[in-house]
Amino acid sequence: MQPKETRAHDYPPADIAARVLYRDALMLVIDKPAGLAVHRGPKGGPSVEDYFDALRFGLPRAPALAHRLDKETSGCLVLGRHRKALAHLGLLFKHGKIGKTYWALVEGGPRDDSGSIDLALGRLDATRGWWMKPDPCGLASLTRWTVLGRGEGMAWLALEPLTGRTHQLRVHCAASGFAVIGDDIYGTAPRFTGPGLHLHAREIEIPLLRNRAPVRVSAPPPAHMHARLKACGWVAPQAPENQ
């Protein structure tokens, strides 16, 4: 039976606090559920910002976002716990010092087992907000990919964005002929309500302090990706991860 996917509005503050994967004096890493926006949007609806008070853990100030994930992308999301920490994390992200690995299930899949996508991206048009397109005059964008498994008509990829453009992974995959399953903007999925995008921020590596090993955090894949991951060879762990 397919596991039931909990939607954003089903999460009380205590449950969001329970999704903390890592915590120290400087930052939090939470497992953001698919369907929960990171920012409050003009049309309303729940967002990670609504839960900041529940993520203080004794500090006088609430944390703040160090970066962003798309609403329908699940997984590792970093929050700074105070202004100095947030500024430090912001510089690490800006200068590409933070390693990010995403898992994606894609339609079809590449022929090779690994490779890279070097394709500049630009804004689609002024009416489409953050939607992007391949654009030779746009910003340089580079993604490294590795095939982790294959199933009937699909592939399981590890994606490493070496640049941080909006919708980079989704546009790069679609433009390369293997759109992310469930992508209703750049792929073939119809517009619908419910968890569908099979893109997950699997792991993040943060060189937070000098002379110390980077902090490495991974997030378990969401329930709506399990069936297709298993079809591509993924074996669910027997014990909770990050313990």
Which residues does the annotation mark as catalytic? 70
Q: For the residues of 160-201, what is the DSSP string, one character each?
A: EESS--TTHHHHHHHHTT-PBTT-TTTSSPPP-SSS---EEE
Q: How far is CA 24 from CA 11, 20, 48, 186, 221, in A?
A: 23, 11, 19, 37, 23
Q: How far, in Å, are 17, 77, 163, 211 from residue 12 at the CA level?
A: 9, 18, 34, 38
* CB 70 within 8 Å of CB 214: no
Phi and psi at residue 137, in whole multiples of 5°?
Answer: -95, 5
